[in-house]
Each structure stands twice: as C-alpha cells, then as structure tokens.
Amino acid sequence: MSKSSSSTSSGIGLAGLVFIVFLVMKLAEIGAVAHWSWWWVTSPLWILPLAIIVITIVVVIIAAMFGK
C-alpha cells in the first residue's frame, strides 16, 4: 500500500476564507462591512490576480527596455 502524493492543493486558501468572512458579514449586515461596496467585499478574489498581472507587465516592460 503506497501513498500517492499529489502536488495539488485542496482547500480554499487565505483569500477565499477572507472573502467568505466578508460575504457573510455583508449579507448579515455585521459591522463596517455592511456598508462596504461589493467591490471591496469581493476584493480578496481579484486583488492577487490583478497584482500578478501588473507585476508581469512591469517585468515585460523592463525586459524590453534593457533586453537589447
């Protein structure tokens, strides 16, 4: 009986957990989150991909400038 190790991760991660907390607080109208825009409630889902895209664009621009 051998254990198969998988490189895939299971779980929702920190961003998913923060989103769920914000969502529950928004829907239950708890605390300051009740008055937030939906953009901020969903921000844990889109901030990391947006940061990766911006960093990639900056790296490509720098590589194009100094790659010659």
- Distance, in Å, from the CA atom of 51 to the CA atom of 44, rounded to the nearest integer, reads 11
- Distance, in Å, from the CA atom of 34 to the CA atom of 27, rounded to the nearest integer, reads 7
- Predicted local confidence at residue 57, as pLDDT: 98
Q: Look at residues 2, 40, 3, 6 and name the one whose alpha carbon lies nearest to residue 23.
A: 40
- Predicted local confidence at residue 11, as pLDDT: 82
Read off the pLDDT band of 5 (50, 70, 90): low
**Torsion of the alpha carbons at 40, 46, 52 and 53, rounded to the nearest 10:** -100
Is the pLDDT score of 3 beyond 70? no
Read off the pLDDT band of 2 (50, 70, 90): low
pLDDT (tens digit per residue) in 14-55: 999 999 999 999 999 999 999 999 999 999 999 999 999 999
